[in-house]
Amino acid sequence: MIRIAQLSCGSEYSGIQKEIERAAETVGAKIIYPEVSLEDILNVEKTFGVSVSSGDLNLAMARAVRIVQNPDLADAVIVMTCFRCAEAAIIRSEIRKYIHEHSKIPVLSYSFTERTTAETLLTRMEALVTTVKYRGLLAREKQKGLTAGIDSGSTTTKAVVMRDNVVIGTGWVPTNEVLKSAEDALQAALKMAGVAKEDIAATGVTGYGRFLVGKHINARLIQEEITVNSKGAVFLADAQKGTATVIDIGGMDNKAISVQDGIPGGFTMGGICAGASGRFLELTAKRLGVDITELGKLALKGDYRNVAMNSYCIVFGTQSLVNSLALGCKPEDVAMAACHSVAEQVFEQQLQEVEVKEPVIMVGGTSLIEGLPKAMEELLHVLVTVPKNAQYIGAVGAALLVSGLLED
Amino acid sequence: MAKVIVYPPTSMILSDLVERMGHKALVVPEAVRRLVTASGIESPPLNMTPEEPKKGLRYAAVDVPSGVRGRMSLIGPIIEEAEAAIIVEDPGWLTGCAGCSRTNELVRLLIRTKGVPVLDLSYPTNDAEAKVFVSKIRTFLEGLK
C-alpha cells in the first residue's frame, strides 16, 4: 500500500476529505497524516523558515518538516489548500519546494474548491502512485521488440508502432467514438509500419479514454498521461538523463511536469479555464479562416503586442480577437496574441508550481503550432525544444513503457 | 440565562467559564457534535459535505475560499444565536483555534457588528493577569440577564 501524506488546510471544512481518500483508495494508496507535537508547530518559524497566522498551515509546515526528517514516514506527498486563499497559496508552494529540495519524495500540490471530486483528483493521484510504485519501469530508457501505444485524448486519438527503439508507424485521428477512434488510429499506425495487429507483442494505453480502450483491446499497460507523457517526451527529446521540464498543452487540460532522470518529480495539471487550452487556438484558427496547422506559421509573422488581449476566458478572449480584427489588426498579430495568451496563462498558473529546469520540452499537438513554443520561449527566457513526433508523445511513452513489462 | 459566544469559538476554557456562571456557551464543538452524530452522512472526520461551504455563502461571498465558508457554516449560526460575546485577543493555539486566520477575522467582525454586548480581553500571560482575566469575565457574565 502506497502511503500518501496529506499536508493541507481546509479540506475537511470544504467537505472534500472523503473525495481525497476515495481517489487514493482507487489507485491503491492510503492517505496518512504525519504526527507532530505542539512543540513542532510552535517551532515552524525556526525549522521551516516561517510561521503564519493560520494554525492549519503551520500544522502542514510542521508535517513537512517531520517528513523531511523521517523520509520513511511516507512514499509520496500531496499538498492541498483552498483555491483563492493567498496565504495558503504561498505556503503550499513553499511546502512543495521544501520537500522537493530536501527529499526524494514525489510531491503534488493542488488547490481545491468544494466542487473537487475524487474523479478530479484521480489522474493526479494515479501519477503520484505510479512514480512510487513503478520507479524501475519508469527508469527504462529503451524500447525493445514490437509494441504499440495508444493515446486516447480528449480531442484526438494517437497511435504508434515501435520496433527496437524506433517509431515505425503513426496514426492520428479526431476523437469521436472513443473505441472506434482508437481502432482507426491503431490501424493507421499498423498500416504505416507494415505489420499485422497479431504481431504486436504488447500494447500500452494512456489518455482520457485509457480505461475503456485498454479494457477493449486487452492492453498490457493502462496508465495515466502524466508519467507516460513525461517518459515519451524525454525519450523523443533525447533527454533521459538529468533534469527536464515537460509542458503539454492539451485540448482539455495542461500538464507541467518536472522530470529527473526520466521520472516525474513534481507536476501540475490544470483544466479550469479553456482559455489556456488548445481549444482556444482551434477557435482562433476558425475565426481567422485558416487551418489549425497554418495558425503557428501565421503567428510567427505577427507581434502579440499589437493586439489588446485582456481576458483569460475563452469566450471573452475570442471576443477580444474579434474586436481586434474589427479594429483592423493584422491576422498574424491576432494569431500570435492567441498563442501568447495561452502560453502566458500556462506560465502564470502552472509553471509557478513546478521547478522549471532545462531542457524545456513542449509536446502534444499544440506544440506544433509554432507560435506557441515561441511565446513560451519569450516568457521563460530559455530555448524550448519540440521533439520530432511531439504530437505522439503519449503513444510513444506507452509503447516504450509496455515493452519493459514484456521483460519482467 | 444568556447565550454567549466565545472567541476563539473552539475554546473549552472560555465555554467552561460561561457555563459555570449559569449561561449557555455557544461553541463550535457543539455544532460539530451535531454533524458527527447525524445519521445518514458518511464523510469523516467532521461529516462535512460540499453542502456546508454552500451554506457558508450566507456569511461570505462565493469568491471566499471554500474552507472559510465551510467553517462559517458551523460558526455563522452560532453568531446569529448569540446574545453576548467574549473575545480574547492573541489567545495562543492552546486556547482554541479555527485553523484559518481569515475565518477568525470574519468571526470577530461579525460578532462586533452584531450589536450585542462584547467583552474584549487580552490573553493572560501570568497568574496575576489570569486572576484579573477571570474576574472580568465573571463581572461581565453577572451583568447579563
User: Residue B98's closest CA among A12, A36, A21, A84?
Assistant: A12
Q: Please give the pLDDT value at position A359.
A: 94
Fold of B3-142: Rossmann fold (3.40.50)
Q: Please give the pLDDT value at position A408.
A: 57
For residues A44 and A107, give the distance between their C-alpha atoms in angstroms, rounded to a whole number: 20
User: Residue A110's closest CA among A221, A242, A10?
Assistant: A10
Determine which helix (DSSP H) or strand (DSSP E) holds A273, and give its type and residue range.
none
Verify that A115 and A13 share a domain, yes or no.
Answer: yes
Verify that A202 and A152 share a domain, yes or no.
Answer: yes
Domain count of the fold of chain A: 2
Residue A37 lies in a domain: yes
Q: Please give the pLDDT value at position A380.
A: 93
Count CA atoms closer than 13 A to A340's CA, side-chain side: 21
Between chains, do B70 and A52 touch, taking CB under 8 Å as contact?
A: no
DSSP string, A132-156: HHTHHHHT-----SEEEEEEE-SSE
User: Residue A255's closest CA among A358, A393, A149, A156?
Assistant: A393
Q: Please give the pLDDT value at position A316.
A: 73
Interface test with chain A among B66, B68, B73, B108, by most A beta carbons within 10 Å: B66
Verify that A87 and A168 share a domain, yes or no.
Answer: no
Cα-based distances in Å from B120 to A276, A299, B5, B87, B117 = 49, 63, 12, 5, 10
Distance from CA of B127 to the nearest CA of A (A): 22
Q: Please give the pLDDT value at position A50.
A: 97
A-chain CB neighbours of B92 within 8 Å are none
Determine which helix (DSSP H) or strand (DSSP E) holds A319, and give its type and residue range.
helix A314-326
Among A79, A106, A133, the domain boundary falls at A133
ipTM, 2 decimals?
0.92
A-chain CB neighbours of B52 within 8 Å are 13-15, 114
Between chains, do B94 and A38 touch, taking CB under 8 Å as contact?
A: yes
Verify that A20 and A119 share a domain, yes or no.
Answer: yes
Q: For chain B, which residues make up each domain, given as ranges? A: 3-142
Residue A79 lies in a domain: yes
Among A103, A133, A163, the domain boundary falls at A133
Q: CB-based burial of residue A98 (10 Å sphere; 0-12 exposed, 13-18 middle, 19+ buried)?
A: buried
Hey, what amino acid is at A248?
A: D
Verify that A121 and A21 share a domain, yes or no.
Answer: yes
φ, ψ of residue A81 to 5 degrees: the values are -140, 170
Q: Domain holding A108: CATH number? A: 3.40.50.11900
B-chain CB neighbours of A7 within 8 Å are none
Residue A368 lies in a domain: no
Verify that A211 and A129 share a domain, yes or no.
Answer: no
Is any Cβ of chain B less than 8 angstroms from the Cβ of A9? yes
Residue A194 lies in a domain: yes
Instruction: Count other C-beta atoms under 10 Å from residue B110's C-beta.
Output: 19
More confident residue, B29 or A74: A74
Verify that A12 and A123 share a domain, yes or no.
Answer: yes
Verify that A16 and A40 share a domain, yes or no.
Answer: yes
Query: Rg of chain A's alpha carbons, rounded to an integer?
Result: 22
Among A133, A164, A187, the domain boundary falls at A133
For residues A31 and A76, give the distance between their C-alpha atoms in angstroms, rounded to a whole number: 10
Between chains, do A38 and B45 touch, taking CB under 8 Å as contact?
A: no
Give the range of the structural domain holding residue A180, as residue numbers without chain letter.
146-226+393-407
Between chains, do B99 and A54 touch, taking CB under 8 Å as contact?
A: yes
A-chain CB neighbours of B42 within 8 Å are 18
Q: Domain holding A154: CATH number? A: 3.30.420.40
Verify that A197 and A176 share a domain, yes or no.
Answer: yes
Residue A156 lies in a domain: yes
Residue indicated by cell numbers 524525454: A234
Q: Are A127 and A23 in contact (CB under 8 A)?
A: no
Q: In what order do the strands lie in the sheet with B24-26?
A: B24-26, B3-7, B84-89, B118-122
What pLDDT, in 10s, does the model give residues B102-117?
Answer: 999 999 999 999 999 9
Verify that A125 and A178 share a domain, yes or no.
Answer: no
Counted across chains A and B, CB pairs separated by less than 8 A come out at 100
Residue A276 lies in a domain: no
Residue A352 lies in a domain: no
Distance from CA of A347 to the nearest CA of B (A): 23
Between chains, do A84 and B51 touch, taking CB under 8 Å as contact?
A: no
Which of B63, B64, B100 is facing A54, going by the closest CB pair? B100
Verify that A197 and A93 share a domain, yes or no.
Answer: no
pLDDT along chain A (408 residues), means of 10: 96 95 95 96 96 95 97 95 93 91 88 90 88 84 94 92 96 94 97 96 94 94 90 93 90 83 81 70 89 92 86 73 85 92 86 84 92 94 94 95 84
Q: Please give the pLDDT value at position A274.
A: 65
Which of A10, A17, A38 is facing B65, going by the closest CB pair? A10
Between chains, do B53 and A112 touch, taking CB under 8 Å as contact?
A: no
Residue A169 lies in a domain: yes
Which of B42, B46, B54 is facing A114, going by the closest CB pair? B54
Verify that A107 and A181 share a domain, yes or no.
Answer: no
The rounded percent of chain B whose pLDDT value lies above 70 is: 99
For residues A172 and A197, give the distance between their C-alpha atoms in angstroms, rounded to a whole number: 17
